[in-house]
Amino acid sequence: MALSKEVYKEFEDVVGEENICDDPAIMPAYFATEFAAVILPKDTAKVQAIVKLCNKHKLKFRAISTGWTGVFPKNTILLDLRRMNRIIEINEKNMYAVVEPYVISAELQAELFKRGLNFCIKGAGSNCSAMLRGHGHLDQTTSADDRNHLAIEWVTPEGEIVRLGSLGSSDEWFCGDGPGPSLRAIISSAVPPGVTPGVFTKAAIKLYHWPGPSKLPVVGKSPRYTLREIPANMMARYYSFPSVEKMWQAELKIGESEIAYELMGFNASMVASNITTCNEEEEEVFRRISQEVQGPGFFVIIAGNSPEDFAYKKKVLEKIVSDADGKSLKSVEDPEIEGILLCQCVRISASIRETFRAGGAFNSIPIMGQRDLTIKWAIGAGEAKKPLIKKGLIVDDGGAFFGWGVEQGHLGKTEIFCRFDPLNPEAKKAVEEWRKEQCARAVNERYFADLLMAKIDESGPSLSNYHLWWRKIVKELDPNSVSPEGGPLV
Amino acid sequence: MIAHEKLSDIVGAANVSCERTTLDEYSRDMSFVNTVRPACVVKPRNAADIKQLVKLANEILTPLVPVSSGSPHFRGDTVPSIGGAVIVDLSKMKRIIKVDRPRRVAIVEPGVTFGELIPTAEKEGLRLNMPLLPRKSKAVIGSLLEREPVIMPKYQWDISDPLACLEVIFGTGDEFRTGQAAGPGTVEEQWAVGGVQKAPYGPGIASWHRLIQGAQGTMGIVTWASMRCEILPSLEEPFVVGSSNPNTLLELAYWLIRLRMVNECFILNNTNLAAIFAKKWPDDYQDIKAALPAWTLFYTAAGYEYFPEERVSAYVKNISDITQRLGVEAAKAVGGVSANEILKAVQRPSEEPYWKLRYKGGCEDIFFLTINDKLGVLIEAMNDLAIKFGYPVIDMGVYIQPIVQGTGCHCEFNLFYDPGNPGELNRVRKLSISAVKALMAKGAFFSRPYGESARMILNRDAATVAVLKKFKKIFDPNNVMNPGKVCF
Ligand SMILES: Cc1cc2nc3c(=O)[nH]c(=O)nc-3n(C[C@H](O)[C@H](O)[C@H](O)COP(=O)(O)OP(=O)(O)OC[C@H]3O[C@@H](n4cnc5c(N)ncnc54)[C@H](O)[C@@H]3O)c2cc1C
C-alpha cells in the first residue's frame, strides 16, 4: 500500500525530499519487505514528528538502527536512523557513553580505547549499532543484554518523548531507573518478535576498563589481519578438555576467580573458521585441530592491569586448566594465530566467518541465562545434529555447540547452530525440524523456552503467560496500533 | 470496612489482628508522614493466602499495604496513605528456600532478615552484597525491592542487582514469575533438571523485576525472591584512607572500582563513622569523632580460592601507586577505628540499637543519586541549608556509596535528632523538605521517592509518570495496592 500523495507530503515536510522514499525499485534494497515508505529522520524531534503523523494516519512504523535483523510486517513505514550517528558524550569519570542509534560499535570502541575504556559489543560484530542490547565475546567483563543501559531517550508509540531515570529528572545520563519503578523494564530493543514499542533515540551505555593499548597494532590485509605483537600483559589461548564436565569445571573456576578478560566457549570448528580465510582452508584446519583437541574447549583472553596482575591471572589460569586436565591448542600459541584471534575477538569481527561462510546460511538456538543448565541441554542438541552431518545436509562441526560466561560466570550463554546451503531445500527442512524438536525438548524437559523464532503466543503459556501482560502493555502504550509486534525471526 | 471473618478464613484467626495497640504500631513510623491507622493487620502464611487476600481486596475495594521488615520503619512507605487499609505483614513467611553455592544464588521469602540469611549463606561459602549496616529487623527482600545501594559496587553490574528473580501476586490477583523463574514448568521442576532462578531478564524482552522494584508495593506483593550471592573470600585485607577532601577519596574510589581491585568500598564522614563505632555514649562518640579525619574511604582487597596472598599483594601494590599519585595513604586504622573492625561490622546487620538511632533516638535520611563531579556542590548546598535551619553541620552524618561499578554514587545525609524534642523534630522536618527541593534544583536525582517529598520529586518527570500510570492500570486496576505511594 503506497502512501497517498498528501500523506507522503506531510512526511516530506518533516524530513525534506532527500530523506524519504517510496520508490518500489529502491526500497527492496533494504529488506525483502514491501514498505509503505522509508524515512530518514535526523534527530529526536523529527522522529517524534514522524511518529505523531503515523498516529494521525494510523500507519505502522518500525525503526532500525544498523538494520541487521530486518523482520517487518508488510506496509510498515521504515525509519532508517542512519543519520542519527553521533557519539554525544564519553564520560570517563562516570564510566558511560551516550550514543545515537547509528553509532556503530567499531567507531565507539576506537574512541574508547584511546581513553582506556571498552564496552559490550554484540557478537554479531563491530558494524552493528552500539546502542541496542546484545551479548558477545566480551561479556565476561562487560556484562550483556539489557544490563548495560543507563538513561535512555525514548519516543513512545504515541510520539511522546520520555527521558528515563536521571535524564528525565536532572538531565544526567548516569542512571536509567526511577523515580519509582524502572521503565527500563520494557525499553531495551531486541530481535523480533519482542521489540520495544516506539523508538530509542539516544542511550547511555556502561563502559568498562580496557587494559590494552590505545590502538591495537594491527598488521596484514583483510581478511587476514593479525597483530604485530601481542600487547603487554595480554595473552590468548585455546584450551580443550577431556569432557564437557571438565570444561565446565574450568570455566566455573575461571569465572569465580575473576581472571579472564574474555572467555569464549568456541568449539574447534569455530576456531577453524576464525583463523582461516576460505572454506577449503577452514575444512583442512578443522580436520587438523580436531585431531589436536581432546574434547570440548574454550578460548580465553587474560589481560592484566599491571605486570603483577597479569602474572597472577596467568598463574591461576594455568592452575585451573591443569586441575581440569585441560590442554592448550598449540596452533593458538603461535603469536600470529594468537594475534588473529585476539584482534577478532576484541574488535568483534568473528561472527560472519563462523555463521555464514561455510554453508551460506545458518539456523540457530541461542539461550541466555544459566550456563551449566543450557550446556546440559546442548549436549543432546549436538548429538541430534550428527545424523544431519552424516547425511551431508549440514556442515560438519562434530556436533558442536558453543557459549560463554557472562559477568564472571554469574550468567552465561549457550548457542548451537547448523550451517547449511540455503539453496538445498532438503537441508533447510531438516535443519528446521532439528530446531523444532530441540526447542520442544527444551520446554518439555524444563530447560528453557525458545523466544527467537516462536510466536509469543506459543512460548507465553509456558512462561508465566508473559505474552498476555506484554500485549496489555503494548496496547496501553500504543492505542492506535502503529508499533507492530513483528513476528518470529524467520 | 473489610470483614474480620473473611480475613480469618484466609489466613486463620490467629493471624488477623484488629487490636488498637497493634494497629497503632503500623499507623506511623520514624518518618514524618501522617499517622493513618489501618483497619486490620494480617499475617499470611504463604503465597496462596496472599493471592486470596488480593482477590478479596479487589472484591471489596480495600487497600493492602505489604510490609516485609519489622519495625522501626523509616520511609513512610509502609504506613497507609488512606484509612481502612489492611496491612499485609509478611514477617511470618520466613523460609530460606534455597542457597546454591555453584550457581551463587539464594532464594528467600519476604520475612527473612539479613541476620537470618547470612549464616546460612556462609555455611555454603557465599555472602550477600549488603546495604550498609541495615537494621536488625530489615528484610532482605525489602532491601532488594527498594534498590538500596550495596557496599560492593564492583559486583553491582546493574542497579537492579543483587535481585535476580521473583514471584509476585499482581494487584489483579494473578501470579507471575520474573526472569528465569517464569518457566517452563514450576520452580520445583526447574530445580529437578538443574535450573535455578538466577537470570533476571525476561521472559520476552521485558525485565519484569524492574517494574516491581522501586514500586513500594504498588504493583503487587512479592512472595519470594532470589538474589545473586558472591563467594566468601579466603583472605581479606581491609584498608582506610582519611582525607579532608571527599573529592580526593572519590577519585581514589573511582580507580579502585574501575580496575576492579576492591570489594567493599564506600566513604563515610566522621559523624557517621563515630556513630557506628562509638561504644560508650556520649564520651566515646565525641572522642572518636574528634580523632577522625573529616572523610574516610573504606575498602577491602580480597583473594579467593587460588593464591589469595599473591592476589592481594598485587592489588595492594597497584593501589599504592594510585594513593601516592593522589597524595593520600592507605592505613589499617583511622582515629582509633580499625579497618578490621569496620570490615567485621559491615558484613553483618547493625548491632542493636540500630546505629542511626544511637546518637539521639531519631534519624531522618535524605538520599539521592548523582555523578562524582556534582557531589562536592551538593554536599556544600546541604551544609548551607543545615546552617540556615540551625541544624549543626557537625552532627550531620554523610554516607557516599559508589554504585553500579562506578557509574554514579548514592549520597545520603543522616540527620540525627531527638524525637522527644519538638523543636529539634520540627527543624529536621523542615530542613528535610527544603533539602530535597534545593538538592533537586542542583541536579540531585531522587530515584527512590518516599514520603512527603515523593510528589515533588515525581512532578519533575511528568513523562515517566504518565507511562508508570499506564502500567499501574494494568497490574493494579482497582488501585488496591498501597494507594497513595509513588505517583499512584
Ligand atoms: C550473523 C549474526 C550473528 C549475530 N550474533 C549475535 C550475537 O552474538 N549477539 C547478539 O546479541 N546478537 C547477535 N545477532 C543479532 C544482533 O544482535 C542483531 O542483529 C543486532 O543487535 C542488530 O543490531 P542492529 O542495530 O543492526 O539492529 P536492527 O536490525 O536495526 O534492530 C533490531 C530490532 O530492534 C528494533 N530497533 C532498532 N533500532 C531501534 C530503535 N532505535 N528504536 C526502537 N527499536 C529499534 C528494530 O525494529 C528491530 O526489530 C546476530 C545476528 C546475525 C545476523
* Residue of B195, B314, B404 lying closest to A373 (CB–CB): B195
φ, ψ of residue B225 to 5 degrees: the values are -145, 150
The residue written with cell numbers 569496620 in the block is B342
pTM over 0.80: yes
CA of A65, closest atom in ligand 1:
30
Residues of A in contact with B404 (CB under 8 A): 175, 206
* Residue of B258, B306, B466 lying closest to A95 (CB–CB): B258
- Given CATH 3.30.43.10, say whether it is the number of domain A5-83: yes
Assembly ipTM: 0.97
Sequence-distant contacts of A123-126: CB under 8 A, at least 24 apart: A123/A348, A123/A350, A123/A351, A124/A68, A124/A351, A125/A348, A125/A349, A125/A350, A125/A351, A125/A352, A126/A347, A126/A348, A126/A349
Pick from B219, B147, B221, B223: nearest CA to B483:
B219
> Residue B441's closest chain A neighbor by CA?
A170
Domains, chain B, with CATH or none: 1-232+457-488 (3.30.465.10), 235-346 (3.40.462.10), 360-448 (3.40.462.10)
Name the pairing type of β-strands B175-177 and B163-170: antiparallel
The residue among B172, B453, B467 with the most chain A CBs within 10 A of its CB, best to mutate, is B467
* Residue of B103, B306, B407 lying closest to A257 (CB–CB): B306
Helix (H) or strand (E) holding B397: strand B396-403
Residues of B in contact with A307 (CB under 8 A): none
Residues of B in contact with A179 (CB under 8 A): 214, 446-449, 454, 457-458, 461, 464, 486
Question: Which among A47, A64, A83 is the best mutation to test ligand 1's pocket, defined by most ligand atoms within 8 Å of the CB?
Answer: A64
In angstroms, the CA B291 to CA A75 distance is 73
Mean pLDDT of chain A: 94
Is the CB of A64 within 6 Å of ligand 1?
A: yes
Q: Which residues of chain B have pLDDT under 50?
A: none
Tell me: the pLDDT tens digits for B271-302?
999 999 998 888 899 999 999 999 999 999 99
Pick from A191, A325, A174, A343: nearest CA to A247:
A325
For chain A, give every domain's residue range. Answer: 5-83, 87-209, 221-353, 362-444
Cα Rg, chain A, nearest whole Å? 23
> For residue B414, is it left (φ>0), alpha (ψ between -120 and 50) or beta?
beta
A87-209 CATH fold:
3.30.465
User: What one-character-per-residue DSSP string does B95-149 give?
Assistant: -EEEEETTTTEEEE-TT-BHHHHHHHHHHTTEE----SS--TT-BHHHHHHTT--
Is the CB of A175 within 6 Å of ligand 1?
A: no
- For the domain spanning A221-353, the CATH number is 3.30.70.3450
In angstroms, the CA A42 to CA A47 distance is 8
Is the CB of A200 within 6 Å of ligand 1?
A: yes
A157: cis peptide before it, omega within 30°?
no
Residues of A in contact with B194 (CB under 8 A): 372-373, 376
Question: Which among A30, A162, A189 is the best mutation to test ligand 1's pocket, defined by most ligand atoms within 8 Å of the CB?
Answer: A189
In angstroms, the CA A216 to CA A236 distance is 14
In angstroms, the CA A74 to CA A194 distance is 17
B203/A188 Cβ within 8 A:
no
Q: How many CB pairs under 8 A join A and B?
A: 292
Buried b (16+ CB within 10 A) or exposed e, A217-228: eeeeeeeebbbe
CA of A352, closest atom in ligand 1:
1
DSSP E strand boundaries for B234-280 = 235-243, 265-269
pLDDT along chain A (490 residues), means of 10: 91 98 91 92 98 97 87 90 98 97 97 98 93 94 96 97 98 98 90 81 98 96 92 98 97 98 93 92 94 96 97 98 98 96 92 83 93 96 97 94 96 95 96 96 94 81 94 94 68
pLDDT number for residue A424: 96
Residues of B in contact with A312 (CB under 8 A): 307, 310-311, 314
Is the CB of A193 within 6 Å of ligand 1?
A: no
